[in-house]
Amino acid sequence: MFADHRKNKLFNLIEKNEATLSSEQIAECLSVSDRTIRKEIKEMNEVCSQHGFLIKKVRGKGFYFEIVEQERFQLFKQGSSVSPLYFDIHSKEGRMKQCIYSLLFESDYISLEELSERLFVSRTTLSSELNGVRMFIQENGLTLQSKVGKGVYIEGEEIQKRETLFSLIDNHIDYTQIETYFKWKNQNNDVVLLQKKLPSLFHSTHLYFTDENLNNFIYYLVIMADRIANQLSIENEYEQSEISSELKQVMDPLVTIVENLFSISLPKSEISYLFVQLKSKVISKAIPDQSSQSLLIAYIDAFLIKINENYYYDLTQDVQLKHDLKSHIQSMLYRAENNIRVRNPMEEHIKKYFPLAYELTLYAVRSIKEEFSYDINLGEVAYLALHIGASLERNYQVKYERHNSCLIVCGSGFGTARIIESTIKRAIPNLFITKTISAQKYNQLPYIEEDVVITSVKIEEKNKPIFKIETLPSKKEMLELDKKITQELSNTQDLLSKYFSPSIFFKQSFKTKDEAIRVLTEAMAKENIIQDQVQFTEAIFKREELGSTLIGEGVAIPHPLNLLSVRTQIGIAISDTPIEWDNGQSTRLIFLLAISKEDYEEAMGIYDFIVEVIRENLSDVLCSAKSFTEFMLRAKLIYE
């Protein structure tokens, strides 16, 4: 299609409203002037003439396409003529991303004049936005070099450049986003071919992938091949630690598949890093060597001991948990060693709806960071939290049934799968669907992360319950399914009365996050809920440094890392106007958790209330309460 988004929008408007929209009406639709539309159409026709059609105007009616060569016109519509721009350059963010994207494919300096021409912006505009470009790439260890007379160049390791490229095209961890990119690059067929070839290759060994990891590995292969084709290869070879027999078996045929598919030759440096990528994403059933085994056991033991020391949940005797953690943590530590990026589309869901398990996991991982020298990112933490959540349910009856996540298995093709998915979303809107896969892919999964599996075909139950439905489920069947999945909710109204108090309830204007926390901790100190206000406040901000306590829908739950309270109380702050919490996100509703060792387990029921507020989007309802009494009435109604 065209080089920028506005021209494509204009194209679509003309096609859908043939000879009916004037330039004035089109200008109104696109929020530009009539003169701009006439200029755009003139520029568009320069491109159109090369693709078998022209934009013409019927006096008194509107614009239409005069098609000279139908085949070339259809190819143009299908995007066979790839736009040189992927991002929307009409926004500052889009221009910066397109600038970074262009520079990532340069092996030497490029002048600002040439770069500005590529981006269809002035040199002045480009120069003013280079500082934003510089800040963006610094997050991945790259620097923007600038030399008089030569221009600009992104300096850094090729691996970091690939990570930056991933950050650009997949910043929301959304499959549709990255698939759009591969379609734009005309690489979608490559992705599909690898999705067909690789499972059979790995099936013959003891190597297993989760769906997420297999897709991520395929995406890496496509981007790697594209970079090599542009003479942008990894220069340094990576040391290949112990190579298991199954990895040896798969590497040679894998390299052959990649080289034949993309018509490239992989240098040794690329093959060595390809091994790193492969090992970081597979789940191997082979027993690790003695050194790795000892490290793995020590890490798991220290991890579970930290949970027991600070939160008083003893999970050290849970054999099932240790077994599940071994297969996950073995790959996780290898990824951490090699700075491998982790995609976790469930991260925000887990953080919101499994806050207790997430909190325990985050604390334990951060507590043993120095001892083991592994910096585990939040995507990994969220995956570990699912294992901890399952153990809490087994051993302490900590329930999460109200916030189930679901895996859909369908054996009737893509179209039917989408019908089943949309039917379930309509009938059970509070059920979080993580993905829809085939029965074949389900059979290859060693472990199911989701709470339940809904399937239209007969499959073997693994570690999570299965609910069988018809291929095209009826409304009645959906209602019955909802009843089966949704369990009786525990009544926490007594907890609300016990742990909420008018003396630590504030509804006023807060300018900052710090101010809201200070007001609540001062009130807690006066009520002898905490002994040392300074120590308590410092512990709260130390916890904030580990990761945001804003858990969605404008609700924040700040709390200290340790159980420092004399008795348990939940402070409530409602700000009249939103206050910035972190990373540009804001909140009005704050629950400050002050929990004591004595009634820790009972007080964890308060998480269930907070999760319900988020799940049902009720924060605005609570924020509109004018007094503590009204707040409590509204809070208790949530569970009726």
User: Hey, what amino acid is at 547?
Assistant: G
Query: Does the structure show a pLDDT above 70 at 206?
Result: no
Percent of the chain topping pLDDT 90: 31
- Using CB atoms within 10 A of its CB, is residue 214 exposed (0-12), middle (13-18) or buried (19+)? buried
User: Hey, what amino acid is at 447?
Assistant: Y
| Kind and range of the H or E run holding 496 | helix 493-499
Query: Does the structure show a pLDDT above 80 at 216?
Result: yes
Higher pLDDT, 165 or 600: 165
Q: What is the pLDDT of residue 345?
A: 67
Nearest of 387, 364, 372 to residue 295 by alpha carbon: 372
Handedness of CA 620, 624, 630, 631 (dihedral sign): positive
Query: Does the structure show a pLDDT above 80 at 598?
Result: no
Q: What is the CATH number of domain 493-637?
A: 3.40.930.10
pLDDT band at 593 (very low <50, low <70, confident <90, very high): very high
Query: Does the structure show a pLDDT above 60 at 491?
Result: no
Q: Using DSSP bridges, classify how beta strands 466-468 and 585-594 pair: parallel, antiparallel or unpaired.
A: unpaired
Higher pLDDT, 562 or 514: 514
pLDDT band at 289 (very low <50, low <70, confident <90, very high): low
CA distance 90 to 476: 49
pLDDT band at 402 (very low <50, low <70, confident <90, very high): very low
- Using CB atoms within 10 A of its CB, is residue 462 exposed (0-12), middle (13-18) or buried (19+)? middle
Equal fold, 5-77 vs 92-175: yes
Q: If you compute the radius of gyration of the chain from its CA atoms, what whole number of angstroms results?
A: 28
pLDDT single digits (tens) 54-105: 999 988 889 999 998 888 888 787 764 456 678 888 788 888 999 999 999 9
CA distance 468 to 461: 11
Report the DSSP beta bridge partners of residue 432: 405
- Using CB atoms within 10 A of its CB, is residue 577 exposed (0-12), middle (13-18) or buried (19+)? exposed
pLDDT single digits (tens) 326-373: 878 888 888 888 777 776 767 777 887 788 888 899 999 999 998 998
Nearest of 632, 507, 516, 524 to residue 568 by alpha carbon: 524
Quickly name the fold that domain 5-77 has.
Answer: Arc Repressor Mutant, subunit A (1.10.10)
Spell out a b/e string for 473-511, using b for 16 or more CB atoms within 10 Å of the CB, else e: beeeebeebeeebeeeeeebeebbebbbbeebbbbeebe
CA distance 622 to 186: 49
**Residues in Cβ contact with 117 at an 8 Å cutoff, skipping those fewer than 6 apart:** none
Q: What is the CATH number of domain 92-175?
A: 1.10.10.10
| Kind and range of the H or E run holding 611 | helix 605-615
Q: Where exactly are the structural domains of the chain?
A: 5-77, 92-175, 187-284, 290-398, 402-485, 493-637
Report the DSSP beta bridge partners of residue 407: 435, 453
Higher pLDDT, 212 or 284: 212
Query: Does the structure show a pLDDT above 70 at 490?
Result: no
pLDDT single digits (tens) 293-327: 889 999 999 999 999 888 778 899 998 899 888 87
Q: What is the pLDDT of residue 393?
A: 78
Q: For the domain with range 402-485, which CATH number is right: 3.30.540.10, 3.40.50.1110, 2.60.40.10, 3.40.50.2300?
A: 3.40.50.2300
Nearest of 569, 581, 580 to residue 541 by alpha carbon: 581
Tokens at 625, concatenated: 């309460």
The DSSP result for 334-391, as a single string, is HHHHTT-----TTHHHHHHH-HHHHHHHHHHHHHTHHHHT----HHHHHHHHHHHHHH
**Cβ(175)–Cβ(188) under 8 Å?**
no
**Cβ(312)–Cβ(597) under 8 Å?**
yes
Q: Which CB contacts under 8 angstroms, 24+ apart, belong to 4-8?
A: 4/83, 4/85, 4/88, 4/89, 4/90, 4/120, 5/88, 5/90, 6/30, 6/32, 6/40, 6/90, 7/40, 7/43, 7/44, 8/83
Q: Is 239 helix (H, G, I), strand (E, B) or coil?
A: coil
Tokens at 488, concatenated: 């009786």
Q: What is the pLDDT of residue 489?
A: 31
Q: What is the pLDDT of residue 640?
A: 55
Complete edge-to-edge strand list for the sheet that includes strand 585-594: 500-508, 569-582, 585-594, 555-556
Spacing of C-alpha 321 from chain mean position: 25
Query: Does the structure show a pLDDT above 60 at 285?
Result: no
User: Hey, what amino acid is at 100?
Assistant: I
Q: Is 530 helix (H, G, I), strand (E, B) or coil?
A: strand
Nearest of 451, 452, 455 to residue 469 by alpha carbon: 455
Tokens at 16, concatenated: 């859908």
**Domain 290-398 bears CATH identifier 1.10.1790:** yes
Average pLDDT, rounded, for the chain: 84
Query: Does the structure show a pLDDT above 70 at 239?
Result: no
Percent of the chain topping pLDDT 70: 89
Nearest of 200, 203, 179, 176 to residue 190 by alpha carbon: 179
Residue with tokens 């300074």: 534
